[in-house]
Amino acid sequence: MSYRDLWLSPAPNVSNIIEGQSPKVSIFGVPFDATSTYRSGSRFAPNAIRDAFLNVEVYFRDLDVDLEKVCIEDLGNLKQTSSVQNMVVAVQRVTEELRQMSKVPAIIGGEHTLTYASYSAIRGASLVVFDAHLDLRDEFADLRLSHATYLRRLLEEDDSIDAVVIGARAASKEEWEFAEQRKVKIIPPQDLSLEEYVRKVKSSISQRSVYVSVDLDVVDPAFAPGVGNPEPGGLTSRELLAVLTALRGCSILGFDVVELDPLTDTGSSAALAAKVLALLIALASR
């Protein structure tokens, strides 16, 4: 090992290389927000999440997992593009390659269109989405594939997908009707105790293998104001972390954290994104 390898790295970088261990989780960023229709800026999110990750605690007492002792590799960011098609190809192929290497892809966006590509590379798992919106529009802003339509495209291509959308509370009438027709399981924010809400989420996931996608706007803007499309009436940050923790026992084949907008953030949203990333790594590494 050279001194360059020992002490120099592209910053920010959240790799945690442990001698004698091979990384199970591989992080890569997708600096893409070309289809954002309200507040753009999520292309800057991958590095903002990394900065916050380096400053949050990563020992999870409930899981007894300490990420300081977990081998993690950070592959950096994909080449920036404004082409949806180029982004989709890149994300899908990198995700497929990581799965072939028996690694868990941990993707930091970027906006939600990337989930169309990453989930397409995995399939066969329940798609567990945390999102304020259903993202089931047929078309939005003259685009057939965007952050507002990606889930509809996935369901049209494969009607066997077991999709669960947690925290959804905002959609067009057509989207609600499409969701009912396709039997998408939707769990909106509800006036339940946290324990009851967690039980309801767990009972809705029918497969042990899952792909998890966390759109930060699932959380109320009071807790995460720096997102691409804030929507009042969401989960608290505590509720989000509790529901994610309840996924212990599931086999997490891949996951993403999307829609952070550092340009409108106070730092609180990035901190939450980093904590979500750390928690999902802890769950995937168990």
Per-residue confidence at 124, pLDDT binned at 50, 70, 90?
Answer: confident
Q: Which of 249, 238, 259, 260 is nearest to 286 (CA)?
A: 249
Q: Per residue in 45-75, pLDDT tens?
A: 999 999 999 999 999 999 999 999 999 999 9
Confidence of residue 176 (pLDDT cuts 50, 70, 90): very high
Residue 232 has pLDDT above 90, yes or no: yes
| Widest distance between CA atoms in the chain | 60
What does the block give as tokens for 21? 């261990």
| pLDDT at 1 > cutoff 70 | no
* Secondary structure of residue 91 in the 3-state scheme: helix
Set out the domains of the chain in order of their start, with CATH numbers: 3-285 (3.40.800.10)
Q: Is the pLDDT of residue 107 over 70?
A: yes
Task: Determine the Cα–Cα distance for residues 216 and 286; give it in Å rounded to an integer.
Answer: 24
Confidence of residue 245 (pLDDT cuts 50, 70, 90): very high
Q: Which of 24-33, 191-200, 259-268, 271-280 has the lowest mean pLDDT?
A: 191-200
Task: For residue 267, give the DSSP letter.
Answer: S
Asked if pLDDT for residue 236 goes beyond 70, the answer is yes
Section 40-45 average pLDDT: 97
- How much is the pTM? 0.95
